[in-house]
Amino acid sequence: MKHVLVIPGDGIGPEVIVPSVAVIREVTDAIDFEFVESGKKAFEKYGEAISDEVLDKSRKADAIFFGATTTVRDPKYRSPILTLRYELDLYANVRLARALLPGMRKVDIAIIRENTEGLYTGREERDLDGVTTFRRVSIKGCERIVKFAFSWCKSNSRRRIVCVHKSNVLRLSDGLFLDIFNTEAARNKKIASSEMLVDSTAMKMVMIPEEFDTIVTLNMYGDILSDLAAGMIGGLGFLPSANIGEKRALFEPAHGSAPDIAGKGVANPFAALLSGKMMLDHLGLRKESQALASSIERTVSNGSALFDAEGRCNTKAVIDAVREGLVEVSSAGKPAKTKAQAK
């Protein structure tokens, strides 16, 4: 039995995470889910956004299923997601941008980024003239994300990888990253490797997205490019992600808490569902993962009327359609339960 800690969070987080857990329970009974509080609501109730107790439970869990939390502009507020990334050393962020909606251009891009360094360390100093931000790029950080990326390509049958950087300007830091990539590429010649400047990458992703397979890059570049990729597949509501370390892993939809639409029932749950699929893969539940993926793809291909041009939808209608798809998948011989069996 696998133990998964669920942090629904704030805003639309619970609206997509809670029903996604219900869907996952229909494809497997091999996971024990435990729900805990973190985020803005927890900060307002307890004075801390993420408690030591939640951190301790996170360290013991086989995986974490995370919604989205709303940031509070208070010096005492500690971001749950950033805290978990650092405390659990979840150094690899994987975001999968794949076009599912009918009529869209072919997009199937994996963006793997270093998750604990760069500008996102948050180290800043103010002086009389302004603010200086410190950017950290270490040999260890570069080596392990590059090795992770090549290993991920092998495990997921990816044939091409591009190193995205800005070493023409940031010659020492990005130059270090590029050198380490080239060294690792020489050890993995079966995977076609190349390198590209981040600004050129952004342009070419829009013009010829089918040319991209896997991207490995540094923290901020990957964050920006993954949002660009989301815009090419219907929005952040279709973008799942994983944060992976040596011993721990956290799975989350890449969107935020979206307080402007919270409670309206229009949050797109596909990013959460697809993050759940990634979690099932990570836990070794491959057949169950494929059952969920099949139902998701069937729902999208048959239910384009569920979405508007910006990827918005009726959350409950989408969840119900995916659950119905699980019944159909089960009847076709896949390892999914029917809703009656799930009860």
pLDDT tens-digit series, residues 244-276: 999 999 999 999 999 999 999 999 999 999 999
**Residue 256 falls in which region: left (phi positive, over 0), alpha (psi -120 to 50) or beta:** beta
Whether residues 217 and 250 fall in one domain: no
Residues 133 and 236 sit within 8 Å (Cβ to Cβ): no
Residue 96 lies in a domain: no
Whether residues 278 and 339 fall in one domain: yes
Closest Cα partner for 88 from 113, 55, 65, 66? 55
Residues 306 and 317 sit within 8 Å (Cβ to Cβ): yes
Domain-ending residue, one of 232, 255, 290: 232
Domain coverage including residue 55: 1-90+240-343
Is the pLDDT assigned to residue 207 strictly greater than 90?
yes
> How far is residue 44's CA from residue 55's CA, in Å, rounded to a whole number?
18
Residue 95 lies in a domain: no
Residues 241 and 252 sit within 8 Å (Cβ to Cβ): yes
Whether residues 228 and 332 fall in one domain: no
Is the pLDDT assigned to residue 24 strictly greater than 80?
yes
Residues 69 and 79 sit within 8 Å (Cβ to Cβ): yes
Whether residues 188 and 285 fall in one domain: no
Give the rounded percent of residues in the chain with a pLDDT score beyond 90.
83
Whether residues 130 and 193 fall in one domain: yes
Band (314; pLDDT cuts 50, 70, 90): confident
Is the pLDDT assigned to residue 339 strictly greater than 70?
no
Whether residues 40 and 116 fall in one domain: no
Residue 99 lies in a domain: no
What is the average pLDDT across 322-326?
A: 91
Residue 47 lies in a domain: yes
Closest Cα partner for 261 from 44, 38, 13, 7? 13
Band (102; pLDDT cuts 50, 70, 90): confident
What is the average pLDDT across 286-291?
A: 95
The span from the first CA to the last CA of the chain, in angstroms, equals 19
Whether residues 198 and 283 fall in one domain: no
Whether residues 82 and 193 fall in one domain: no
Whether residues 288 and 270 fall in one domain: yes
Residue 264 lies in a domain: yes
Domain-ending residue, one of 232, 251, 283: 232
If one counts every other C-beta atom within 10 angstroms of the C-beta of residue 317, the result is 14
Is the pLDDT assigned to residue 16 strictly greater than 50?
yes
Residue 98 lies in a domain: no
Higher pLDDT, 162 or 332: 162
> In the prediction, which pLDDT does 340 show?
41
Whether residues 171 and 113 fall in one domain: yes
Is the pLDDT assigned to residue 329 strictly greater than 80?
no
Domain-ending residue, one of 200, 232, 264: 232
Q: Which residues pair with 241 in a beta bridge?
A: 95, 252
> In the prediction, which pLDDT does 97 show?
97
Amino acid (1-letter code) at residue 145: I
The pLDDT mean for the chain works out to: 92
> In the prediction, which pLDDT does 295 show?
94
Residue 156 lies in a domain: yes
> How far is residue 72's CA from residue 102's CA, in Å, rounded to a whole number?
38
Closest Cα partner for 311 from 250, 232, 251, 249? 232
> In the prediction, which pLDDT does 128 show?
96
Whether residues 133 and 248 fall in one domain: no
Higher pLDDT, 310 or 188: 188
CATH code for position 63:
3.40.718.10
> In the prediction, which pLDDT does 48 show?
96
Residues 178 and 146 sit within 8 Å (Cβ to Cβ): no
What is the average pLDDT across 58-75?
A: 95
> In the prediction, which pLDDT does 179 show?
98
Is the pLDDT assigned to residue 88 strictly greater than 90?
yes
Q: Which residues are catalytic?
A: 120, 166, 199, 223, 227
Is the pLDDT assigned to residue 341 strictly greater than 50?
no
> In the prediction, which pLDDT does 338 show?
45
Number of domains in the chain: 2
Whether residues 86 and 191 fall in one domain: no
pTM: 0.91
Residue 293 lies in a domain: yes
What is the average pLDDT across 108-133?
A: 93
